Copies of this chain bind each other. A is one copy, B any other.
Amino acid sequence: MNIGEVAERAGLPPKTIRYYEDIGLIRPLRSDNGYRAFQKNDLHKLAFLGRARALGFSIEDCRTLLALYDDSTRESAQVKQIAEEHLHQIDEKIAQLKSMRNTLAHLVEACHGDHRPDCPILKDLSNANVD
């Protein structure tokens, strides 16, 4: 398989696939013409990467997960730990965004949003304790 077909099937842009090779996540063979010659295994790994990235795992997490995926003697505890840590990070991120959202929603509500210059949003933003 050439990169175009693999990209199509894995649902990743060719550029991203080349990048993943660059950083050593995959190591596709090469044909005589210099084209990357992807095997089924590469395709599976790329799809795996696509799913893991869609779940927000970092590239380094993906690297580890892929190594575990390849290792038939792995312990599921290792995988679970990575996933749990990531879950925790997602929770933190959600909490942070919710807090932003709250503040911002109040400000938006308080702003009439008309032709007048008076604006509680700007007022709040400039009201930092700085003097």
A47 touches B130 (CB 8 A): yes
A92-131 contact mask (Cβ, 8 Å, vs B): 1 or 0: 0110011011011101100111111111011011101011
Instruction: Please state if A51 and B128 are interface contacts (CB–CB under 8 Å).
Output: yes
57-114 of chain A: CB within 8 A of chain B: 65, 68-69, 71-77, 79-81, 83-84, 86-87, 90-91, 93-94, 97-98, 100-101, 103-105, 107-108, 111-114
Most buried by B among A10, A54, A121: A121
| Copies of the chain in the assembly | 2
Instruction: Compute how far the CA of A118 lies from the CA of B74 in the bound complex, rounded to whole angstroms.
Output: 8
Interface presence of A55 (CB below 8 A): yes
Given known contacts A130-B43, A130-B47, A100 and B56 CB-to-CB distance under 8 angstroms: yes
